[in-house]
Amino acid sequence: MSRPDLNLLTTLAVLLDEGSVAAASRRLRLSPSAMSRALARLRETTGDPLLVRAGRGLVPTPRAIALRDEVRRIAEEAEAVLRPERVLDVSALDRAFTLRTSDGFVERFGPALLAKVRSEAPGVRLNFLQKADKDSTPLRDGRIDLETGVVEASLGPEVRTQALFGDRLLGVVRAGHRLSQGKVDVAGYVEASHVVVSRSGFEEHAVDLPFLPPMPARRIASLVGGFAAALALARSSDLVATVPDLHTRGLRDGLASFPIPGAAGFTVSMLWHPRQDADPAHRWLRGCVRAACAGAAGA
């Protein structure tokens, strides 16, 4: 059995409303002959005449009368589905968003982001997940709504990105450490003992490696999974932690910092899947993230 042409639903709804082929053709901007052909197809599909001649006009059959309200409702719902979404009322939004970020991002930008979201949409909840790797699969399958990080060349083309702020690497040591006195050169940095952040647990995956200049291998005394842990070890030992400036600004109280000679700056971006592009609630969320980062980065 062939499937009916669902485009005929709109035609049937208008015909039953107007009770006239000519009036229906004007409303749908079709020629009278095209509307007559559409009525013929509807009669064939439904097995009912639907509209029959009565004097100079047409009257609906009992089947058409029974269908009128249901057909109108279905046609209106179909049009609503395809119509552009109405302006979002964020104050009434009831939704949870999941963001995957580094630990430093939450400490630095999380409070401002939560405050903005709470002031505009008290029904929205933000869930922050630790970013353990660069895999974009959770974005694609919808397990997370938004991610922050440095965009790499290997990122799939299906992921959307937008820059948030620029950052740079700093060396961080306890107060009184020998590297806290005066300018630090490459030799002094390399010869120190280091605590390095690597989410995989391997030295070759250290998160700072892509931004360090060519230099001899560092003396790595410890690997940790996040910036907060690296700074905690640096605070209570002679280890040097290499961390991003803005991400860790709120975690470095009482510690000494120095720029790493020749280290490259980098841009932190937010990433999302294209299916979220046109979603008004997701667009609003992205605007909140931009505003929170701009405010905190400038502070």
Instruction: Look at the chain and count its residues.
Output: 299
Q: What pLDDT score was predicted for residue 7?
A: 75
Q: What pLDDT score was predicted for residue 295?
A: 80
- Per-residue buried b or exposed e for 277-293, using 16+ beta carbons within 10 Å of the residue's own CB: eeeebbebbbebbeebb
Q: Nearest 5°: phi and psi at 139? A: -70, -45
| Higher per-residue confidence, 134 vs 226 | 226
Complete DSSP assignment for 134-196:
---HHHHTTS-SEEEE---TTS-TT-EEEEEEEE-EEEEEETT-GGGSS---HHHHHHSEEEE
Selected from 1.10.760.10, 1.20.1600.10, 3.40.50.2300, 3.40.190.10, the CATH number assigned to the domain covering 90-166+267-298 reads 3.40.190.10
Q: Do domains 90-166+267-298 and 169-264 have the same CATH topology?
A: yes
CA gap 191, 11 in Å, rounded = 80
pLDDT at residue 182 tops 80 = yes
Q: What pLDDT score was predicted for residue 17?
A: 84
Asked if CATH classification 1.10.10.10 holds for the domain at 8-82, the reply, yes or no, is yes
Most confident of the ranges 25-29, 78-82, 129-133: 25-29
The predicted-structure confidence for 103-144, as pLDDT tens digits, reads as follows 788 888 999 999 999 999 999 999 999 887 777 788 888 899
pLDDT at residue 78 tops 80 = no
What is the signed CA dihedral for 171, 174, 177, 181, rounded to 10 degrees?
60
Q: What pLDDT score was predicted for residue 222?
A: 97
Give 202's Cβ-side CA count (13 Å radius): 4
Average pLDDT for 145-161: 82
Look at 47-51, 113-117, 133-137, 145-149 and tell me which has the smallest mean pLDDT: 133-137
List beta partners, residue 163: 269
Look at 38-47, 66-75, 195-204, 259-268 and tell me which has the smallest mean pLDDT: 66-75
Look at 154-158, 241-245, 282-286 and tell me which has the smallest mean pLDDT: 154-158
Collapsing DSSP to helix, strand or coil, 90 comes out as helix
Q: Which residues have C-beta within 8 Å of that of residue 186, sequence separation ≥ 6? A: 213, 215, 261, 262
CA gap 159, 234 in Å, rounded = 36
pTM of the model: 0.69
Q: What pLDDT score was predicted for residue 85?
A: 62
Topology (CATH level 3) of domain 169-264: D-Maltodextrin-Binding Protein; domain 2 (3.40.190)
Most confident of the ranges 52-66, 70-84, 85-99, 113-127: 113-127
pLDDT at residue 298 tops 70 = no
Average pLDDT for 176-184: 92
pLDDT at residue 152 tops 70 = yes
On average, the pLDDT of the chain sits at 88
Q: What pLDDT score was predicted for residue 86?
A: 65
| Higher per-residue confidence, 38 vs 122 | 122
Q: What pLDDT score was predicted for residue 1?
A: 46
Collapsing DSSP to helix, strand or coil, 52 comes out as strand
258, amino acid identity: F
Q: Domain ranges in the chain?
A: 8-82, 90-166+267-298, 169-264
8-18 and 21-28 are packed helices; what angle lies between their axes, rounded to 10 degrees?
A: 130
What is the signed CA dihedral for 172, 166, 133, 154, rounded to 10 degrees?
-130
Alpha helices in the chain (DSSP H): 8-18, 21-28, 32-46, 62-82, 103-120, 137-140, 186-191, 227-235, 280-298
CA gap 228, 195 in Å, rounded = 11
The rounded percent of the chain whose pLDDT value lies above 70 is 94
